[in-house]
Amino acid sequence: MSPTPARRDPERKVIAENRKARHDYFIENQFEAGIALQGWEVKSLRDGRANLAEGYGVIRDNEAWLIGINISPMSSVSTHVVAEPVRSRKLLLHRRELDRLIGAVEREGYTLVPLTLYWKNGRAKLALGLAKGKKQHDKRASIKSRDWERQRQRLVRRSG
């Protein structure tokens, strides 16, 4: 079940996007997952203080975890709370989706990559991509095809 990309859907407000992911990986499938957050993290996300660039997903004990994303604490966070900006956060998925991810990651060698963090109906959601890594020549081919597509669009505009 692939959700529409968050940047195209008007009801979703994008918090952070991992632009490097589509350059480094072939995204085979997309899943929408909730994230178990603490109170200070929600406040920081509302302020847009998230970075997905170094993040990745892992399967541990039949649960999905998000590791390496940075949610910077706000200066107004309570003094009694010890803020950990880069902690492991549990991903909330349906059992069927989780079983599918477990099979793909453990048997088929896929990687879980965070693509977009956004708000949906007042809840923080993560677009998680099931991805295969690109080799250097694949990246070059992607850049070449993107440049050709851009050039083709220019030619069409000029002739029309």
State pLDDT tens for residues 96-145: 999 888 888 887 778 889 999 999 988 999 999 888 877 777 778 888 88
Q: With the C-alpha atoms ordered 81, 83, 84, 90, is the resulting torsion angle positive or negative?
A: positive
Whether the per-residue pLDDT at 68 is higher than 70: the answer is yes
Instruction: Judge residue 92's burial from the number of C-beta atoms within 10 Å of its C-beta, 0-12 exposed, 13-18 middle, 19 or more buried.
Output: middle
Whether the per-residue pLDDT at 6 is higher than 50: the answer is no
Q: Name the residue ranges covered by the structural domains of the chain.
A: 13-135
Bridge partners for 66 per DSSP? 57, 89
Whether the per-residue pLDDT at 75 is higher than 80: the answer is no
Cα separation of 56 and 20, whole Å?
12
Range 13-135 classified under CATH 2.40.280.10 = yes
Query: Higher model confidence: residue 133 or residue 18?
Result: 18
Q: Using an 8 Å Cβ cutoff, are 71 and 84 in contact?
A: no
Instruction: Name the strand (E) or helix (H) holding 67.
Output: strand 63-67
- Residue 87 has what pLDDT? 86
The reported pTM is: 0.72
Cα separation of 114 and 102, whole Å?
16
Band the pLDDT of 2: cuts 50, 70, 90.
Answer: very low
- Residue 140 has what pLDDT? 85
- Residue 12 has what pLDDT? 76
- pLDDT, tens digit, 9 for 90 and up, residues 34-44: 999 888 888 88
Q: Which residues contact 127 (CB under 8 A, 6 or more apart)?
A: 3, 5, 6, 30, 31, 32, 114, 115, 116, 117, 118
- Locate 93 and state its tokens: 């998925």
1-4 long-range contacts (CB < 8 A, ≥24 apart) are 1/31, 1/32, 1/97, 2/29, 2/30, 3/30, 3/31, 3/32, 3/127
